Amino acid sequence: MPQYAFFKSQIVPIEDAKISIMAHGFNYGTGCFEGIRAYWNSIEEQLYVFKLLEHYERFLNSSRILLMDLPFTAQRLAEITVELIRREGYREDTYIRPVAYKADEVIGVRLHGLRDEVAIFAMPFGRYIETDSAHAGVSSWRRIDDNSVPARAKITGAYINSAFAKTEAVLNGYDEAIVLTQDGHVSEGSAENIFIVRDGVLITPPITDNILEGITRKVMIELAREELSLPVMERPIDRTELYVADEALLCGTGVQVVAITHIDHRPVGTGMIGPIVKALRDLYFDVVRGKARKYLGWCTPVYVNVPELAVA
C-alpha cells in the first residue's frame, strides 16, 4: 500500500489525504482522473514512467471540459509524480492515479463556482486482466455519447457506464465487455481501446465513435506502422466484423495489451493469440520497460541523481 499522497499542494502521509463525505466530487462524480503506469527494469535497476507528460496533458484537457482551472502545468505535475514515487521507493511495476475533483462541501449539481483540488497516489500494480487473452462479450449497455457525457474526458462519474458493462460481462461468464455506440458501431471495451485485424490491416474505431483518445492506442498505431509495416485504418467497425476478424486486441494503460481470442462464444481467428497481436504485445513491453532504445524518450526514469523536487 502507498505511504504518501500529493494532497492539497504537498506530499503528505497517505492517512492524511482524506476528503469529506460532503465533497461535491464524491457526491456527484464531478472529477477527472488519469491512469499512468511505471515499469521496473531489473537489469538497469530503473523505474520508467511511460508517457508521463502525455497523460498529464490529457488530464488537463479533461479538467478543462469540467470547467476546472488547475494551477499546474503538465510538466509540474510530472515533476511532482516523480518525486512522489521516489519517496515511495518502489522497485516494481507501479500504477499512478492523479485525480482532480470539485472539493467544496455543498449540495447542488453544477460545475461552476466550485473549488478544485488535485490529489495523486501511486501503488504497486500488476495485471488488470489475469490472463494473456480474453473472452469478450458485446454488452447490452451502450457507450456514453459525447453530447451526454464526453467520452474523451476521463470523468469519474462517467465510469459507471464502464462498471455496468464490465459487471454484466463478468456475471455472464466473460472476461471483458465490448460496448457499442448508440448507432450500433463498436466503440471500445469497458475501459480499453479495441483493435481488430482483417486481411493484414489493423483497424480501430475513430475518435468520433465515443472512444477515449487512448495514449496506448496511439502507441499501438505507431508501432504497427513503424515497426511492423502494417497498414492501420481508423474507421467504424460493425458488430459482426468482430466475428470474422482474424485477430483482435484490447489496449490501455490498465489492461496494457491483451488478445481477444473469443467474442460472444465465437473464436476470433484460430481462437488463440495471433502473430500480429503477439508482435505488438512483445514490442509494447520492450518499449515501456526502456528496452527499446529508439523509444526511450517515451519513458521517464524515476531514479536519477538529481536533487529532491520541491512540491509545495
> How many Å apart are CA 49 and CA 253, to the nearest integer?
11
Rounded Cα distance between 15 and 205, Å, is: 42
Asked whether 78 and 300 are in contact (CB, 8 A), the reply is yes
Please state, in angstroms and rounded to a whole number, the distance separating the CA atoms of residues 84 and 121.
8
Q: Which residues make up the CATH 3.20.10.10 domain(s) of the chain?
A: 133-273
C-alpha cell at 136: 469478450
For residue 18, indicate whether it is catalytic.
no
- CATH assignment, 133-273: 3.20.10.10
- Check residue 127 and give its pLDDT: 73
**What phi and psi, each to the nearest 5 degrees, are found at residue 288?**
-70, -25
- Could you tell me if 158 and 29 are in contact, meaning their C-beta atoms sit under 8 angstroms apart? yes
* Structure confidence by residue, pLDDT tens digits, 278-298: 999 999 999 999 999 999 999
Q: Is the pTM of this model over 0.75?
A: yes
Predicted confidence (pLDDT) per residue in 123-144, tens digit: 998 777 767 789 999 999 999 9
Instruction: Express as a percent the part of the chain with pLDDT over 70.
Output: 97
End-to-end CA distance of the chain: 24
Q: Out of 18, 154, 278, 294, pick the active-site residue.
A: 154
Mean pLDDT of the chain: 95
Confidence of residue 1 (pLDDT cuts 50, 70, 90): confident
Distance, in Å, from the CA atom of 292 to the CA atom of 90, rounded to the nearest integer, reads: 22
**In the chain, where does DSSP find H-type helix?**
24-28, 52-65, 74-88, 160-171, 215-226, 239-244, 275-288
Residue whose C-alpha cell reads 502521509 in the numeric block: 13
4-126+294-301 CATH: 3.30.470.10
Residues 172-194 have pLDDT tens digits of 999 999 999 999 999 999 999 99
> Please, how many CA atoms are within 13 Å of residue 118, restricted to the half-sphere of its CB?
26
